[in-house]
Amino acid sequence: MYKIPLIKPYLPEGTKEKVLEVLDSGYLTEGPVTAEFENIVKEFIGCGHVLAVTSCTTGLELALRALNIGPGHEVITADYTYPATADVIKIVGADAVIVDVSKDTMLIDYDALEKAITPKTKAIIPVSIFGNPLDYDRLDRIRKKYNVKIIEDAACSLGAEYKGGKAGTQADIAVFSLHPRKFLTSGEGGLVATNNPEWATWMNSYKHFGMGSATSRENTGFQMIGTNYKLSNILAAVALEQAKQIDVLLERRRQLAANYIDMLTGKNGVTLPAVTKGGLHSYQTFSIFVEERDHVMKSMREMGIEVQIGTYSLHMHNAFKQPGIRLEGNFDGSRYAFEHCLALPLYHEMELGQQKTVVRELLKLL
Ligand SMILES: Cc1ncc(COP(=O)(O)O)c(C=O)c1O
């Protein structure tokens, strides 16, 4: 147990009652609570369709399948990410092309991305890592020029914005995670957002075993091969009250992030990552760069402050050194992020005093 944990899920009043209500109802699988949850998030994002699924990983796979991506195709993604982003490309049978990220934002290097495009490239999965929004002016130009689709791995970026548009409105399909590390959580789960009604209908059917009318309990027949990626009423109930307060939760995160920024700006040994120009960060994770990251991480943990690495550099892992995966470039940006990025504690109920303790102990070590 840490004195100051990295995260602490916030379950607002009414959550336990809602979960018990579902348990008492006997309607435990996907149903009306899931639909209510999807609707609240859809209204918040301002997109046409939101589908709840079992995880961000299955949501990304669903998105690739909806776009008919599979063997013979290439999909480009960023090296600095959670492995799931690239796993799904292989799961659908396509080739993965992995490119570097920019050292300052930790987002996909748009020049490297453009260079890696070939006639086989069907889609790009850029990652709005930690809640830092993607540059959609740039991505739109790439999308049009090369006729590729954009599936945003928005695991961390519910509420992030680029030029006033929320994550989930600019990609062809965007996928969010509801893992407990995320500020809106159902325990496990994901959300798929799109403005395209055909893809939404297809994905809804596919995640319901290929049923014709996916959300009713009537037997409408199975129109295609499908699978089961439904999010149960129980898990939707865990997230429902949080969803009703997304704005409040986001505002709180941004306030906590602003406190850290105030205390850390200009301090020796600390570099703050850059936010995309024109973007509004959601601060799913508050991260900084420090020189002796592993030493700092170990020492802070010993003091009861749970800090963590940012995420992984895929090219360093055997899973991504195999045929059908093209590693493009030298990955200087990704390696820098992997070695120097440090995630600081940030959770809804964190107090300013705790943030001051984190900063004080951090600065002592630098
Ligand atoms: C960038 C990124 N993509 C994908 C995932 C996978 O999400 P899930 O656990 O919901 O499948 C994560 C999980 O943390 C992530 O950070």
Q: How far is the CA of 202 from the centre of ligand 1 (A)?
A: 23
pTM of the entire structure?
0.98
State which of 101, 158, 177 you would mutate to test the pocket of ligand 1, scoring each by most atoms of that ligand within 8 A of its C-beta: 177
So what's the pLDDT on residue 215?
57
Q: Which atom of ligand 1 is nearest to the CA of 189?
A: 10
pLDDT in tens, 275-319: 999 999 999 999 999 999 999 999 999 999 999 999 999 999 999
Q: Is 38 in the pocket of ligand 1 (CB under 6 A)?
A: no
So what's the pLDDT on residue 216?
56
Q: How far is the CA of 84 from the centre of ligand 1 (A)?
A: 6
Q: What is the CA radius of gyration of the chain?
A: 20
Distance, C-alpha 107 to centroid of its chain: 13
Q: Are 58 and 190 in contact (CB under 8 A)?
A: yes
Low-confidence ranges of the chain (pLDDT < 70): 213-219
DSSP assignment, residue 284? S
The number of beta carbons lying within 10 Å of the beta carbon of residue 229 is 23
Residues in Cβ contact with 298 at an 8 Å cutoff, skipping those fewer than 6 apart: none
Q: Is 190 in the pocket of ligand 1 (CB under 6 A)?
A: yes
Q: Is 128 in the pocket of ligand 1 (CB under 6 A)?
A: no
The stretches of 46-135 forming alpha helices (DSSP H) are 56-66, 84-91, 110-116
CA distances from 339 to 202, 292, 362 (A): 41, 9, 17
Q: Which atom of ligand 1 is nearest to the CA of 81?
A: 1
CA distances from 172 to 97, 188, 223 (A): 19, 24, 24
Four-point Cα dihedral 336, 59, 244, 249, nearest 10: 0
Q: Is 238 in the pocket of ligand 1 (CB under 6 A)?
A: no
DSSP assignment, residue 49? E
Distance, C-alpha 313 to centroid of its chain: 16
Distance, C-alpha 273 to centroid of its chain: 18
Q: How far is the CA of 250 from the centre of ligand 1 (A)?
A: 19
Look at the block and give the residue holding tokens 């325990």: 187
So what's the pLDDT on residue 60?
99
d(CA 212, CA 224): 8
Q: Are 151 and 268 in contact (CB under 8 A)?
A: no
Distance, C-alpha 340 to centroid of its chain: 21
Q: Is 350 in the pocket of ligand 1 (CB under 6 A)?
A: no
Q: Is 131 in the pocket of ligand 1 (CB under 6 A)?
A: no
Q: Is 57 in the pocket of ligand 1 (CB under 6 A)?
A: yes
So what's the pLDDT on residue 175?
99
Q: Which atom of ligand 1 is nearest to the CA of 58?
A: 11
So what's the pLDDT on residue 220?
72
Q: How far is the CA of 267 from the centre of ligand 1 (A)?
A: 31
Triad 126, 79, 68: Cα angle to 5°: 45
Q: Which atom of ligand 1 is nearest to the CA of 59?
A: 11
Q: How far is the CA of 268 from the centre of ligand 1 (A)?
A: 32
State which of 82, 125, 238 you would mutate to test the pocket of ligand 1, scoring each by most atoms of that ligand within 8 A of its C-beta: 82
So what's the pLDDT on residue 212?
80
CA distances from 27 to 220, 230, 297, 316 (A): 20, 14, 45, 45
d(CA 57, CA 179): 11
Q: How far is the CA of 177 from the centre of ligand 1 (A)?
A: 6
User: Which among 300, 317, 254, 358 is positioned nearest to 96, based on CA atoms?
Assistant: 317
How far does the chain reach from its first CA to its final CA, in angstroms? 25
Q: How far is the CA of 151 from the centre of ligand 1 (A)?
A: 14
State which of 51, 56, 77 you would mutate to test the pocket of ligand 1, scoring each by most atoms of that ligand within 8 A of its C-beta: 56
The residue type found at 183 is F
| Core vs surface per residue 236-253: b (16+ CB within 10 A) or e | bbbbbbbbbbbeebbebb
Name the helix (H) or strand (E) containing 177: strand 173-177
Q: Is 85 in the pocket of ligand 1 (CB under 6 A)?
A: yes
d(CA 177, CA 182): 7
Q: Is 177 in the pocket of ligand 1 (CB under 6 A)?
A: yes
So what's the pLDDT on residue 221?
86
pLDDT in tens, 319-364: 999 999 999 999 999 999 999 999 999 999 999 999 999 999 999 9
d(CA 177, CA 126): 15
Query: For residue 55, which phi and psi values (nearest 5 degrees)?
Result: -170, 170
